[in-house]
Structure 1
Amino acid sequence: MIPEGAKTRLASAWAVSRAFVVRHRLWFGAGIGALLPLVILLVWLGASLPISRALEPLPNRALILLDSQGRPFARRGAYKEAPVVIKALPKHVPAAFLAIEDRRFYRHIGVDLGGVARALVVNAKANRTVQGGSTITQQLAKNAFLKPERSLRRKGQEAMIALWLELRLSKDEILSRYLSSIYFGDGVYGLGAAARHYFGKPPEQLSIGEAAMLAGIIKAPVDLDPVDHADKAGARARLVLDAMVETRAITPEQARGAGQVVVRTTRADLPVGGYFADWISPQVKSAFDGPGYGEVRVPTTLDSRLQRIVERAVAKTMKGSAKAKVGQVAVVAMRPDGQVVAMLGGTNYRQTPFNRAVQAKRQPGSAFKLFVYLAALRDGATPDSLVIGDPITIGGWTPANYEGGAGRDLTLRDAFAQSNNIIAARVYQEAGGEAVVRAARDLGIVSPLREDDATLALGTAETNLLELTGAYAAVAAGRMPVRPYGRPETLASDLKPLEPFVHDGLLDMMGAVVEQGTGRAARLGQKAYGKTGTTQDYRDALFVGFTGDLVVGVWVGNDDHSPMNRVVGGDLPARIWRDVMTAGLKAGLVARDDPPEPRYQPSEPQTIEEAPRQKRVPKWLRRILGL
């Protein structure tokens, strides 16, 4: 029961309060009207924003690519480790970030008005931006929830989200989210990843100097990268140490004892790209797609020893070929089963990351004749079959030989070795475009080919070097088709063997190219097989071939398709091929084989009419010879 006196006092207070509200109802209405949107906004933020976004892993894990010996040679993708726990870190680690980024972190409510005022004064005096007024909570709001933008509206959103974060999370939870998601440069996100990337250790083991250096990176991750800008990063780290002394996080003696910080660059030194890495990464990414912390170490087929051999051979040849007007080189090396062991897509990846071994579609020239002569062998011809060399016109097109002239009859072997265009066109006509295209498809060519285009015989259809080298690998393996691959995998079981007599015939003719034909510059001390290719006006020059257990394709040319200075496939490409194989043999990376067998000189023309008629002569050859 409430005493009468108390009732009287309550009634009097209520009357006074009611009268005050009535007299100032406009002010009260305005205040409620101003607070109501703020309350609604905070409720909406709580319902819509994913509060743990900063702790989530990246959409795709970082990849560390390993060569065939298990050594890392490249890294791909952004790197983020699991969130850090503030209480598990040495006290000097979070103290370093607070000292340089937000000294009043544990005292403000997400927005530090005093800090903003100080920053405005300092920036006005310096007539430029020297200090920022954003707190760690605001930085978290900006990085985790907002898009990059510089505007007053964005600052207002940042402040509102910061206030909401302070209401929902403890200070340590906010700091943990900030340290676990902030960018540290070089594709690294979060303190856990940064500690491992730059120092090869977990964040719980960071020294005072290491913590200071990482805290200093945040201001400008690119310009203060301790790998590429060690001096700037070191100077910034000393500023952080001074700030830690000012905030009494460490003593002056500890700051002086922090010493020179040494960055462990085992991971940081790995390039983020490379011709082989660019080619294999999409295949690897699809196999390891999905969110996750840390990184995935992925084995590949690359042999770093052969890769270095290829790079040295190209550098050596290009150094002395200024007059050749050759702008670019591409090289692919693979085993006969399609295992790519080396790849060079240009002269300099940093300057030209475009991969000419994979992405460039160029004419193969006479290197395409492999498929023309394969069709002929399948039709019953042999390397010793004699073909008329008289001029021929097909659909208004009259091919000519590189050295000019016509009329000399040659065996298939000699025509292939000498890269005779007229005889190649005649063989194409009689074998049929359909058979030639089928031969190319069987060996693994997937680029568009026109059966009704007779110029296909001279390699006018565009393909890429990787695809072409894979087709030659099928000849080396005696099985088809061979698909180039860059990750260790189980070999396909659906490969078809090349018919023995066809395989032997191709080896016979390809060996003649190296021993007595256009590819003599590629000769080795053991059996070698290949084919040269040169396109019109010397715009492309190629040599593709194999010896032992290595298949190598070499292309030279210019990106703008401008002519070279009379460079042919038997020149620079064959020399690069020879240097790669010679060094590979010396290093024990290419299998040894027997010396090449002695060959007869090119056959002399014969009187075809006097040759006896035999049942073994194929129909297409009988039509050529008029039998």
Structure 2
Amino acid sequence: MRKADGLFKLIGLCLLAGVLVAGMLFPVVGAAGVMSNQASETVEKTSSDLADIPPPLVTTITDNTGSPIATLYEQYRLPITENQINEAMKWALVSVEDKRFYEHHGVDWQGTLRAAVSNSTGADTQGASTLTQQYVKNYLINVVYRGDTVGQKKAQEQSIARKLKEARIAIQLETKLTKQQILAGYLNIVEFSRQIYGIGAAAHAYFDTTPEKLTVPQAALLAGLVNNPINNDPWKHPDKATARRNLVLDRMVDNKKLAKADADRFKAEPLGVVPDTPKKPPANCIGAGPEDGFFCQYVEDYLLKSGLTRDQLYTGGYTIKSTLDKRANSAAKASAEAQVKKTQPYVANTLSLVKPGKNRHEVVALAANRDYGQDQAAGQTTYTLPAGVYNTGGAGSTYKIFTTAAAMEKGIVGIYSPVDIPDSYTSRVFAGGPKTCPPTGPPLRSNWYCVGNAGDYSKISGANIQTALATSPNTTFVELEDRIGSTGPAVDMAHRLGLRETMATNAAGRTPDPNASKAELRDTQAKFYGPHDNSPGLGSFTLGVSPVSGLELANVAATILSGGVWCPPTPIAAVTDRNGKPVPVKEAPCEQAVPEGLANTLAVGLSKDDQTGGTSAAAARAVNWDRPMIGKTGTTQLNASAAFVAGIPQMAGAAMTFKFGGGQGGICDAQVQNEVHVCPTGNIFGGRAPARTWFGAMKNIMEGQPVMDLPQPDPQYMGGGAR
């Protein structure tokens, strides 16, 4: 009875499978017709997905000449055409996976029914899929349901329903595509392990060759992999990979596509894969290397903020031409490292360079003493130190630019207006600071702000705003804030001239936390340092005590040198899709941040920093600097960080030396040893390591370039006469 029962069960399953096949091919009326129509809709949708959802491709980032610097991808795939499949690869794959590929019309019916019956009776899982069906399944798994584990599971479940749907799609494909197109499509989609997809990438990664040049044993190895790429990985499981390759060679002999003597000879050969690991590029900005990685990362971050998703960026197959000038970036990197060793604990030294312009502000270089990478012991990091808001110590007196510009706009001073330089100054407008003025002074009310100078200014006579910008006395600019009446105009000016993202972060350089108990973490810098809650703001703003982006600080100089036109600092020259069509990038429009006359006059006001008496004069002399320029140094309290923002008509930039990742105390500058380090009592200033970094790079970058003059000042903003 048991044998009879088993026989009847087998007959019943065969009949059931036959009915399902008939329903798949020939829709009928009634309930069966409804079911068939629903199945047809599902098949049509899946077929549409195969046509409409393109496979993930590699995105390439290039420098400004079009030379690749990095690749971004989830699946390493190098598409091929049907003409790029050589005979060895073609017959190796067909022989082992689908011997009758050129005879059937998408489905091997005998094999499909055998698989359906075997799977339904609980016997060993049967496949019997043709290459066309495998193409469908792999497309669903690797493309349509990529990242969707539920969808991927359904696409490969062992069920009659799944097999029949797959079969219908395969039949449709065979009516629309030639056999060679199907073979090429399959070989472009299938996985070869380790993020390697498609024969183009596999030929390169496994054998450092192209699909057209694959030898018979190489083709046999790759054809054998598609069945189980992880299990047959030639680096992890060379014995299994060899056995599988040899099986493919035997199948080629059986299929009369290879002589047995040749197969035996090929079996004796080693696998021949590249040593150690597959030859494929890194899947992210690590591939740009330690020098250009920061720029690559900024490109990625910029595009994500511009509206592209990470998935689009890593699968879209874009070509992104950046504005990176590799020569300039190399010079910037060398200069940054000359001042601070890449392995120096806790200290970062960065240089960001931007081209001024009234239509675009192109980022040219983003460099740091540290290398871009993941080896922290070697001084590497993947934080975008030159671009992000990572200098939490501040940029010091470079912020006096904003106070000056705000006062000029209000007509309070011009660049030649006389100013006082007292040894100490007590603000009766702003709160905070010590309760007594150094070295001696009367007790202060808690809402007064008292500051002193970092140097001796007693020998300076007849000072004006231009002199003060070059020599940088603190007292003069806090008094100027008092004359404005609040920090509001200066805070607003910082935003307008370029510190957009900087002013939107909190006083710790992070996204404001609305639930934080402390205002400096809860509010943006613009709110925290500007007027709020009946307060005129914090007078320390002009001394640059807050976190700042080096790139945005460089863009401040670019805005001034562009006649007051602010543009977003962009690293993008052009983006094209996988078909070579331009892709628009959403960027903020340029805007006239301040009147052109104000910007031009401010540039003249900032033009004496590199000259005798200026805070960067020594660094300028060291490289025999002889170009008209703007410049402003800055140093924070206790010498915890320092900066230099500067520019010439062709190039603007900012160098910053700051503590990154820990360390106590200030930063000590040891020029003789070319080493900067954290020490109990700091002595770094903006005119030291930061200025030397900027001048050292710019001297090399601008060699052979024409010398250009600064713009002419506007009398409206020049001032002069008695105070």
Q: Shared fold (TM-score greater than 0.5)?
A: yes
Q: Please name the residue that 1:437 is paired with.
A: 491
User: What pairs with 1:436-585 in structure 2 (closer than 5 Å)?
Assistant: 436-446=490-500, 447-448=503-504, 449=526, 450-451=530-531, 452-453=536-537, 454-488=539-573, 495=592, 499-500=596-597, 503-513=600-610, 515-523=612-620, 524=623, 525-527=625-627, 528-547=629-648, 549-560=650-661, 562-563=663-664, 564=667, 565=678, 566=682, 567-585=684-702
The answer on whether the counterparts of 1:345 and 1:355 sit within 8 Å (CA) in structure 2 is no
Q: Please name the residue that 1:382 is paired with.
A: 415
Q: Please name the residue that 1:365 is paired with.
A: 396
In 1, Cα distance between the equivalents of 2:10 and 2:283?
63
In 1, Cα distance between the equivalents of 2:61 and 2:163?
40
In 1, Cα distance between the equivalents of 2:52 and 2:298?
29
Q: Please name the residue that 1:73 is paired with.
A: 69
Q: Deviations over 1:569-591 (max 9, x none)?
A: 233222222221132134x4x54
Question: Does the C-alpha gap of structure 1 residues 57 and 481 become closer, same or farther in structure 2, counting only changes over 3 Å?
Answer: same
Is structure 2 residue 210 aligned with structure 1 residue 93?
no
Shift of 1:255: 6.2
In 2, Cα distance between the equivalents of 1:617 and 1:594?
23
Is structure 2 residue 475 aligned with structure 1 residue 422?
yes
Q: Please name the residue that 1:128 is paired with.
A: none
Q: Deviations over 1:19-43 (max 9, x none)?
A: xxxx99xx78995899599949985
Q: 3-state DSSP class of the match of 1:341? A: strand
Is structure 2 residue 323 aligned with structure 1 residue 327?
no
| More divergent stretch after superposition (252-261 vs 268-277) | 252-261
Question: Does the C-alpha gap of structure 1 residues 188 and 594 become closer, same or farther in structure 2, counting only changes over 3 Å?
Answer: same
User: What pairs with 1:201-280 in structure 2 (closer than 5 Å)?
Assistant: 203=211, 206-208=214-216, 211-212=219-220, 214-215=222-223, 241-247=245-251, 248=253, 250=258, 251-252=262-263, 253=265, 268-269=280-281, 272-273=284-285, 274-280=293-299
| More divergent stretch after superposition (519-528 vs 68-77) | 519-528
Is structure 2 residue 445 aligned with structure 1 residue 391?
no
Q: Please name the residue that 2:199 is paired with.
A: 191
Question: Does the C-alpha gap of structure 1 residues 235 and 33 become closer, same or farther in structure 2, counting only changes over 3 Å?
Answer: closer
In 2, Cα distance between the equivalents of 1:186 and 1:29?
42
The answer on whether the counterparts of 1:383 and 1:505 sit within 8 Å (CA) in structure 2 is no
In 2, Cα distance between the equivalents of 1:340 and 1:38?
66
In the alignment, structure 1 segments of 5+ residues that lack a partner are: 1-22, 122-131, 596-614, 623-627
In 2, Cα distance between the equivalents of 1:204 and 1:293?
25
Q: Deviations over 1:528-567 (max 9, x none)?
A: 4322223334443222212462222122323446444224
Q: Residue 313 of structure 1 is aligned with which of 305, 314, 335?
A: 335
The answer on whether the counterparts of 1:55 and 1:180 sit within 8 Å (CA) in structure 2 is no
In 2, Cα distance between the equivalents of 1:183 and 1:354?
32
In 2, Cα distance between the equivalents of 1:110 and 1:545?
77
In 1, Cα distance between the equivalents of 2:152 and 2:363?
51
| More divergent stretch after superposition (361-370 vs 420-429) | 361-370
Question: Does the C-alpha gap of structure 1 residues 269 and 537 become closer, same or farther in structure 2, counting only changes over 3 Å?
Answer: same
Shift of 1:375: 2.8
Question: Does the C-alpha gap of structure 1 residues 222 and 385 become closer, same or farther in structure 2, counting only changes over 3 Å?
Answer: farther
Q: Please name the residue that 2:42 is paired with.
A: 48
In 2, Cα distance between the equivalents of 1:383 and 1:326?
41
Q: Please name the residue that 1:336 is paired with.
A: 356
The answer on whether the counterparts of 1:73 and 1:271 sit within 8 Å (CA) in structure 2 is no
Question: Does the C-alpha gap of structure 1 residues 388 and 169 become closer, same or farther in structure 2, counting only changes over 3 Å?
Answer: closer
The answer on whether the counterparts of 1:57 and 1:80 sit within 8 Å (CA) in structure 2 is no
Q: Please name the residue that 2:112 is paired with.
A: 109
Q: Residue 64 of structure 1 is aligned with which of 60, 65, 71?
A: 60
In 2, Cα distance between the equivalents of 1:558 and 1:60?
41
Q: 3-state DSSP class of the match of 1:370? A: helix
Q: Deviations over 1:431-474 (max 9, x none)?
A: 34343234334423322422432221112344322221111112
| More divergent stretch after superposition (506-515 vs 107-116) | 107-116
Shift of 1:303: 0.8
CA RMSD of aligned residues (A): 5.3
Q: Deviations over 1:172-222 (max 9, x none)?
A: 698665433223467554335655788898745644355356447658979
TM-score (norm 1): 0.70
Query: Quick one: which amino acid aligns to residue 519 of structure 1?
Result: S
Q: 3-state DSSP class of the match of 1:391? A: strand
Query: Quick one: which amino acid aligns to residue 243 of structure 1?
Result: L
Query: Quick one: which amino acid aligns to residue 341 of structure 2?
Result: K
Question: Does the C-alpha gap of structure 1 residues 211 and 291 become closer, same or farther in structure 2, counting only changes over 3 Å?
Answer: farther
Q: 3-state DSSP class of the match of 1:245? A: helix
Query: Quick one: which amino acid aligns to residue 699 of structure 2?
Result: T
User: What pairs with 1:397-416 in structure 2 (closer than 5 Å)?
Assistant: 397=432, 398-401=449-452, 403=454, 410-416=463-469
Question: Does the C-alpha gap of structure 1 residues 430 and 197 become closer, same or farther in structure 2, counting only changes over 3 Å?
Answer: farther
Shift of 1:288: 8.8
The answer on whether the counterparts of 1:184 and 1:190 sit within 8 Å (CA) in structure 2 is yes
Question: Does the C-alpha gap of structure 1 residues 68 and 569 become closer, same or farther in structure 2, counting only changes over 3 Å?
Answer: same
Q: Please name the residue that 1:127 is paired with.
A: none
| More divergent stretch after superposition (479-488 vs 203-212) | 203-212
The answer on whether the counterparts of 2:399 and 2:543 sit within 8 Å (CA) in structure 1 is yes
Q: 3-state DSSP class of the match of 1:109? A: helix
In 1, Cα distance between the equivalents of 2:114 and 2:13?
23
